[in-house]
Amino acid sequence: MRRPIIAGNWKMNKTVEDALDVAIGLKRKFYTFGEADIVICPPFTALSKVGDEISDSSIMLGAQDVYWEEEGAFTGEVSPKMLKDVRARYVIIGHSERRVLFGETDEAVNKKVKVVLRYGMIPIMCIGERLEERDNGTTYEVLEKQLTRGLKDIPKEDVGRIIIAYEPVWAIGTGRTATPREAQEAHKFIRDFIEKHFEKEASVKLRIQYGGSVKPDNIAKLMAEEDIDGALVGGASLDVNTFVQIVENSIL
Ligand code: PGA
């Protein structure tokens, strides 16, 4: 049985104070919680304080991006060493907003996944097709390309540690979720890809999150699907009560 993992991606929202309010609220509810992994990914400015706040609880810290060098003249970037320093355990990589708005390539995603693994953190590698790609029937080609390039040269014993987030771009922040069946088909495709290109053991262990307009009222049906192991939640993770409900409904 794969352990469910629900992650909140706060994106470019929340001052340090607002981030702490949410962290404290979640901690009150999930101080000890054994039924799923809960990860919150505040903006860089709030990582350190939120990390301190949740360090004695079952909630884990994640970052929203990383650069692949350890240190140096890379203005504006944040290194894996710095993330490790603030006790981040997870790092979101290749989110569609980074790909679409900031030109992040599969090659950059691949370097980031490798460095995060090297630092003993867990990458959450995001993949997903755009609306026109779904409409013209190329969804699986797009996923295959993102997987092939994003996971290039990753040793097979490491692949099972990675989390893949399937996030159809047309479902992000739009209120339009993939149906549980659409999501399950994509998740199965991803698991089969890992079995074919790496090994069966890794594909069985691999946790695949769904992301895109996840809400308290649709999470249970998504999680009921065999290959959906969790969710990467954007907008609905910004409010304590809504995120608490999502976590609770995910393990129904
Ligand atoms: P959303 O975002 O839940 O607001 O659709 C999901 C994501 O971008 O990870």
User: How many angstroms is it from 156 CA to the middle of ligand 1?
Assistant: 29
Structure tokens belonging to residue 235: 């907008």
Give CA–CA dist 166/208, Å, rounded: 7
The one catalytic residue in 95, 97, 129, 133 is 95
Span 193-222, pLDDT tens digits: 999 999 999 999 999 999 999 999 999 999
**Is 185 a catalytic site residue?**
no
Q: Which residues line ligand 1 (CB under 6 A)?
A: 9, 167, 172-173, 211-214, 232-236
User: How many angstroms is it from 232 CA to the middle of ligand 1?
Assistant: 7
CA-nearest residue, atom 7 of ligand 1: 234
Exposed, middle or buried, 38 (CB in 10 Å: 0-12/13-18/19+)? buried
The yes-or-no verdict on residue 175 having pLDDT over 90 is no
Q: Which of 6, 9, 91, 217 has most ligand 1 atoms within 8 Å of its beta carbon, as the pocket-test mutant?
A: 9
Span 114-171, pLDDT tens digits: 999 999 999 999 999 999 999 999 999 999 999 999 999 999 999 999 999 999 999 9
User: How many angstroms is it from 202 CA to the middle of ligand 1?
Assistant: 26
The yes-or-no verdict on residue 226 having pLDDT over 90 is yes
The one catalytic residue in 104, 167, 187, 248 is 167
**Is 167 a catalytic site residue?**
yes
Ordered by where they begin, the domains of the chain are 5-250 (3.20.20.70)
Length of the chain: 252
* Element of type H or E holding 47: helix 44-54
User: How many angstroms is it from 210 CA to the middle of ligand 1?
Assistant: 10
User: How many angstroms is it from 214 CA to the middle of ligand 1?
Assistant: 7
The yes-or-no verdict on residue 177 having pLDDT over 90 is no
CA-nearest residue, atom 9 of ligand 1: 234
The yes-or-no verdict on residue 176 having pLDDT over 90 is no
Q: Which residues pair with 39 in a beta bridge?
A: 7, 60
**pTM for this predicted structure:** 0.97
The yes-or-no verdict on residue 61 having pLDDT over 90 is yes
Give CA–CA dist 42/147, Å, rounded: 26
3-state secondary structure 98-124: HHHHHCCCHHHHHHHHHHHHHCCCEEE
The yes-or-no verdict on residue 174 having pLDDT over 90 is no
